[in-house]
Amino acid sequence: MSRKQRKMLCRIIVAAVVWAAGFLLKHIFNTEERFGTEGIILLVIFTASYLIIGWDILWKAIRNIAHGQVFDENFLMAIASIGAMIVGEYDEGCAVILLYQIGELFQSVAVGRSRKSISDMMDINPEYANLEVEGEAVRTDPNEVAAGDIIVIKPGERIPLDGEIISGSSALNTAALTGESALRDVTVGDEVISGCINTDGLLRVKVSRPYSDSTVAKILELVENSSENKAKTENFITRFARVYTPVVVIGAVLLAVVPPLFTGDWAAWIYKALTFLVVSCPCALVISVPLSYFGGIGGASKCGIMVKGANYLEALSNAQTYVFDKTGTLTKGSFSVSEIHPANGVTESALLEMCAGAESGSNHPIALSIVDAAKQRGIVPAAENAREIAGFGVTAEVGGKEVSVGNIRFMRKLGAECAEAESTGTVVHCAADGGYAGYIVISDEIKDGAKSAIAGLKKLGAAKTVMLTGDRKATGEAVAAAVGIDECHTELLPDGKVALVEKLYSEKPEKSTLVFVGDGMNDAPALARADVGIAMGALGSGAAIEAADIVLMNDNIENLPAAVKIARKTHAIVMQNIIFAITVKVLIMALTTVGIGNMWAAVFADVGVAIIAILNAMRAMRIKRAQ
């Protein structure tokens, strides 16, 4: 609690004690006489309590009315409470203002708390960098470090700028950015991302870009600006509030004047009108909507899901069409050996050893993936006299055999008997001493969790899942089938992707939204065209952070259904609050008009509803981490 809040708490306690004393006396005296000695004593006690707790409201009411703010909440509260005192309901009038202040205090503590917990979470701003100047580390403002400079990062320090390790190795804690608790091992030659924490080793890093372009600066900018993008619901509620208060106040005036003209019962109707004024404040509504979205965005960032604004979270909650880019989103974007088919009489490892040996001198991604696969099985690829035969493949001596590795034409040329392989990836055939030895298939690996992520989205009511790719038909369709995507479009050029998003846009169910998920590298136009553009694995990619509306910082695609769940939950909380607050207020007004409600009920409708709505809104921040 801040000093201001503690002071208010003291005032509330003192005023409440005085009020309770007055309330007790009222029941002891049990008098109807307002201007007898006992009546005057009660008036003095309740006025004292009122002034202790309400002087600032009276002061603000006067000041704001001077500024022409007629429908100011302080003014309305002042009228309602003073009115009640004048009508003779001292305890109620005083309680209205007391409870109002309790509600305000509660609200300010709750909001302060959620603000703090979110700003703590976003506390990734590096305060300094240890710049190496002539062999010595000098503390410097990260803004003053240029690309190419060398910085030193000690254990326990936050990495201030993006760069490449030139000496040292360590484990990095990326939790603040990705929500992942597992440490990331890094060593010489690896790229490090600003915002991560160096846990054990001393690192020397060559800075790759200035602070203003660093990952941290990009994320902070995203977070800073996220409050500008307000959700439609929030704009609706503020518009509603602008109409609501005047309508209720006019209703109160009519209630105070019109019925008594016929019945003559002025005091009773004025009391009802004052009750209206108590519920005229739209605060519960106005505060709970942005608080919920703020909490939802904060909770999402805990899981490494950065949302650029409440509007995107709102749009995501209505998503029914999900469009995916293939490479880098559903697949890892790196090649690896997926199948090994040795011919009769050859073992898998022998085939792999021959292929890896022959390819060991090459830098081609496919060759590298074969060598990697061999190393994983403990095979050390080695070959002699490797020769490349352009357009066909490679020939080399592996373990005393003449091994040829390449495409099917190469096999035919060598006279090795082989059949066309049925596969969706790149096929590499192998022959040893002129006899066919089998083939290896290399394909882009499907990401772990891609299948369950798609299944998760379908469970959340996805009407359609679509995959777009520039790849061959067979490859694309195989990936789509493997992960459970409904519709697949292959062999697309980049502008073809936008055209297809456009087409899917016109086909999507009414009032639902379209989500495009990509890696942000070459699908920026499609990301921009979709209602919600989501970039995957954006850690270290400033371009992706800029292009997308929602950024999944880590590479875990299962964060996608998690993001949808967070959006749904937040939206549900917002709707609950709106419906609850409006229902209670309308109900209280109706009951008051027919004579059942009283000021106590009205105070509940104002303060109680606000507190319940705020507590409900704070639920949005509590998110179970997706694993």
Query: Shortest distance, CB of residue 288 to another protein, whole angstroms?
Result: 9
Cα separation of 297 and 303, whole Å?
10
Binding-site size, another protein (CB under 8 A): 27
Q: Which residues contact 484 (CB under 8 A, 6 or more apart)?
A: 451, 454, 455, 458, 465
Query: Shortest distance, CB of residue 259 to another protein, whole angstroms?
Result: 30
Q: Between 103 and 342, name the residue whose CB sits nearer to another protein.
A: 103
Closest CA to 171 of 149, 198, 190: 198
Query: Shortest distance, CB of residue 584 to another protein, whole angstroms?
Result: 17
Cα separation of 518 and 333, whole Å?
12
**Site for another protein, residues 407 to 466, rule: CB under 8 A:** none
Q: Between 16 and 77, name the residue whose CB sits nearer to another protein.
A: 77
Q: Is there a contact between 241 and 285 (Cβ–Cβ < 8 Å)?
A: yes
Closest CA to 526 of 564, 492, 482: 492
Query: Shortest distance, CB of residue 18 to another protein, whole angstroms?
Result: 25
Cα separation of 527 and 511, whole Å?
19
**Site for another protein, residues 356 to 415, rule: CB under 8 A:** none
Cα separation of 225 and 306, whole Å?
12
CB count, 10 Å around CB of 566?
27
Q: Is there a contact between 444 and 462 (Cβ–Cβ < 8 Å)?
A: no
Taking CB under 8 A as the criterion, the residue among 25, 38, 64, 251 binding another protein is 64
Does position 227 interact with another protein (CB under 8 A)? The reply is yes
Does position 224 interact with another protein (CB under 8 A)? The reply is yes
Query: Shortest distance, CB of residue 290 to another protein, whole angstroms?
Result: 5
Q: Is there a contact between 305 and 562 (Cβ–Cβ < 8 Å)?
A: yes
Does position 2 interact with another protein (CB under 8 A)? The reply is no
Cα separation of 429 and 417, whole Å?
11
Query: Shortest distance, CB of residue 247 to another protein, whole angstroms?
Result: 15
Stretch that binds another protein, among 77-85, 226-234, 426-434, 590-598 (CB under 8 A): 226-234
The two tokens of residue 84 are 């009640």
Cα separation of 262 and 476, whole Å?
79
Burial degree of 134 (CB within 10 A; 0-12, 13-18, 19+): exposed
Long-range contacts of 68-77 (CB under 8 A, 24+ apart): 71/245, 71/246, 71/249, 71/280, 73/281, 73/283, 76/245, 76/249, 76/277, 76/280, 76/281, 77/277, 77/278, 77/281
Taking CB under 8 A as the criterion, the residue among 209, 230, 413, 619 binding another protein is 230
Which residues are registered as beta bridge partners of 341? 439
The two tokens of residue 278 are 């108590």
Does position 139 interact with another protein (CB under 8 A)? The reply is no
Taking CB under 8 A as the criterion, the residue among 9, 38, 47, 69 binding another protein is 69
Does position 115 interact with another protein (CB under 8 A)? The reply is yes
Taking CB under 8 A as the criterion, the residue among 25, 87, 111, 441 binding another protein is 111
Is 149 a catalytic site residue? Answer: no
Taking CB under 8 A as the criterion, the residue among 41, 43, 241, 379 binding another protein is 241
The SS3 of residue 586 is helix
Q: Between 63 and 412, name the residue whose CB sits nearer to another protein.
A: 63
Query: Shortest distance, CB of residue 566 to another protein, whole angstroms?
Result: 17
Does position 242 interact with another protein (CB under 8 A)? The reply is yes
Does position 572 interact with another protein (CB under 8 A)? The reply is no
Does position 31 interact with another protein (CB under 8 A)? The reply is no
Q: Is the dihedral of CA 347, 353, 354, 359 positive or negative?
A: positive
Q: Is there a contact between 49 and 18 (Cβ–Cβ < 8 Å)?
A: yes
Could you give the string, one character per residue 266-305, with x where binding to another protein holds by CB under 8 A and - elsewhere? ---------------xxx--xx--xx--x-----------
Query: Shortest distance, CB of residue 237 to another protein, whole angstroms?
Result: 8
Cα separation of 217 and 215, whole Å?
6
Q: Is there a contact between 277 and 249 (Cβ–Cβ < 8 Å)?
A: yes
Alpha helices in 88-230 (DSSP H): 90-121, 175-178, 215-225
Could you give the string, one character per residue 91-110, with x where binding to another protein holds by CB under 8 A and - elsewhere? -------------x---x--
* Half-sphere exposure in the Cβ direction for 313 (13 Å, CA): 38
Stretch that binds another protein, among 224-232, 488-496, 535-543, 561-569 (CB under 8 A): 224-232
Taking CB under 8 A as the criterion, the residue among 3, 27, 67, 139 binding another protein is 67
Does position 141 interact with another protein (CB under 8 A)? The reply is no
Cα separation of 401 and 350, whole Å?
12
Catalytic residue among 149, 325, 531, 549: 325
Query: Shortest distance, CB of residue 248 to another protein, whole angstroms?
Result: 13
Q: Between 302 and 464, name the residue whose CB sits nearer to another protein.
A: 302
Q: Between 43 and 122, name the residue whose CB sits nearer to another protein.
A: 122
Catalytic residue annotation: 325
Enumerate binding residues for another protein (CB under 8 A). 60, 63-64, 67-69, 73, 104, 108, 111, 115, 224-225, 227-228, 230, 238, 241-242, 281-283, 286-287, 290-291, 294
